[in-house]
Structure formats: C-alpha cells, structure tokens
Amino acid sequence: MTANLAPQDDRWLEDALRADAGYLDDAGFTARVMDALPPPAAVPRWRKPAVAALWALAAAGTAIALPGAFLDVARETYKLIAAQPVSLPQIATVVVALGIATWSATVYALRSE
Amino acid sequence: MAPPPVSDAQLIARVIVEDDRHAFAELVRRHQSAVRACLRRLTGGNHALADDLAQDTFVLAWRNLKSFRQEAKFSTWLYRIATNCWLASARKRTEELLGDRDAELPDDAGDDNQSMASDAGGDPARGATLHVDLTRAMAVLSDAERAAIVQCYHNDLTHEEAAYVLGCPVGTVKTHVLRAKQKLKTALAAWAPE
C-alpha cells in the first residue's frame, strides 16, 4: 500500500486518480508479443557432445603433458587433510552428510524431471 | 486435485534456464493487463500507442530477464521497463505532445469511462465527465510528474517502489507528486467538494 497520505481535501482527487481501469482482456496481445520475440538460437544437436569431447581431450592432453601435476595435487591434498586432527566419528559424520546431500540432490533432480 | 499455481519466480527460472517460451507466455498473460493499463495512463489514453509500447516492454523483458535480480517484484520491474519505453517514445514525440493536447484525447476511452463511473458517486455521466477532465488535466503535467502520479496512484506503488521504477531519489518522487497534485487540483477546481 502506498504511503501517499493526503489531507482530507485531497481525497476526491486521490479517489479519481486511483480509479481502477478494470482488467484488460488479452485479445491476442500475448500472441503478438510471442510473435515479436527473437527466434530461438539454432543450436545444432552435435554441439553438446562435441564440447564434452573437446573438454575430455583437453584434460587428457594436460594429463599426458604434465604427468607429475596430478600426482603433486593429490599428494598435497592428502598432506593437508592428514595435517588436520580428524577422528573416526568426524569422518563418519562427513560421509553420512555427503550421502544425505547426494540422496537429496538425486531426489530433487528426479522430481524436476 | 488442481496442481499448485506456479509462481512468477519459477516461471522466470524456467525462461532463463530452459529458454522456455511457454513460461514467458504465461508471464505475459499474467501481467499484460497491468502493464497496458499503466501505459494507457502514461500515454494519455492512446490505446494503440500504449499497446505498441507494452509489446516493446515485454520483448525487452525477454531480452533482459537474466539481469532481473529479484530486488523488486517482477511487476515493478516491468513498470520500470514500460516507463522507460514511454519516456523514450515521448522524447521522440515531444513536438506532437507540445501541440494541440486536446487532439490526444482518445475516441475509444469509453471502457475507462465506465469503470470511472463507480468512483464518482455512482453517477455514470458524472464519472465519465470527471475521467475526461482528468485525462485533459494529466496532459498539463510534465512527463516526470505524470509518471510519478501514475506509479503512486494508478499502480498503487509506494514512494520507494516508484523511485525504483522512475530511477530517481524518493525525495524527487515526492516532489513530483506534490507538484502534480497541485496542478491537477487547479485544473480540476470545479470538481473539488465545497
């Protein structure tokens, strides 16, 4: 609601200004708008698999060109985790939380379908 | 059991993520009346121009939907686009607007006149006459004043929402509304109660 409070002598003017024009029937307006929209971008069917293949190729190329890089990353990650004082119950909690998150995401994705 | 109504936010998400034109058509169907009515007020009752501008508004909304950050209601965001479309059109037609304003009064304003009747003490003739006089009086206002009046009264937005729509500070909106009301009261003095 608007905060346009007015003195009593403005009421007649405000009532006139607020007069409802009533619902305007669509009368083909929506169809005209939809016709005026730019046409959908034509994306060829082969584009998605081609992009995925290119990414896979790039990953494989990087792995071949820099074989030590992946091992270094894995080693440093392990060191980082090992440096933390983690107990068995904490690991179990994380595993359970990840399981619940995965389950929820799967259910949500299936429902969205 | 009927499925739950889909919210505007869900339809917008479908348009953005899936490029869903049916979802956008539903959004247009839901908001076309309010946007067209707003533009009819802004254009002084020029229905054909208002519908053209409303069409431009929805096409622009489609193109810029990804930039809609939900900081305002979708309808308010549409009013903002509609107002910008009208201002751009008004700038192009400035010379026409400065001409004979009486000529702008629409021939097909009958529908609005009927709805106005109920707000004039139930007397249809009196309501229609007040509507015609009000339309003439609105033509006296500057573009900014008219836009402020339309957003604050016809669209029933708060001053803050109107400021968002008009892209100006809240204080400026209040000033425009006050000035516009003064002008309208002067122009419609004969309608003021004794």
CA distance A23 to chain B (A): 6
CA-CA distance, B112 to B44, in Å (whole number)?
A: 12
DSSP assigned state of A84: S
Task: From residue B182, give the alpha-carbon distance in Å to each of B16, B168, B173, B176.
Answer: 44, 21, 14, 10
Which tokens sit at B79?
A: 């009013």
Give the type of residue at B193: P
Q: How many other C-beta atoms lie within 10 A of the C-beta of residue A92? A: 10
- Quick: pLDDT tens for B27-41: 999 999 999 999 998
Which tokens sit at B187?
A: 């122009």
Chain-chain contact of A29 with B193 (C-beta, under 8 angstroms): no
% of residues, chain A, pLDDT over 70 = 89
CA-CA distance, B14 to B10, in Å (whole number)?
A: 6
- Please give the pLDDT value at position B131: 78
In this complex, is the C-beta atom of B153 within 8 Å of any C-beta atom belonging to chain A? yes
Closest by alpha carbon to B116, among B191, B20, B9?
Answer: B191
Chain-chain contact of B193 with A9 (C-beta, under 8 angstroms): yes
- Please give the pLDDT value at position B164: 93
- Please give the pLDDT value at position A7: 56
DSSP assigned state of A38: P
Arithmetic mean of pLDDT, A32-37 = 94
Arithmetic mean of pLDDT, B16-24 = 91
In this complex, is the C-beta atom of B171 within 8 Å of any C-beta atom belonging to chain A? no
Which tokens sit at B60?
A: 């622009």
Give the type of residue at B11: L
Please provide the average confidence, as pLDDT, over all residues in chain B: 83
Closest by alpha carbon to B185, among B147, B144, B149?
Answer: B149
- Please give the pLDDT value at position A64: 82
Closest by alpha carbon to B84, among B153, B160, B151?
Answer: B151
- Quick: pLDDT tens for A65-100: 887 877 888 888 888 888 877 788 888 899 999 999
Most confident of A91-95, A104-108, B89-93, B174-178: B174-178
What is the torsion angle, in degrees rounded to the nearest 10, for the CA atoms of residue B161, residue B166, residue B167 and residue B172?
A: -90
Which tokens sit at B72?
A: 């305002």
- Quick: pLDDT tens for B149-166: 999 998 989 999 999 999
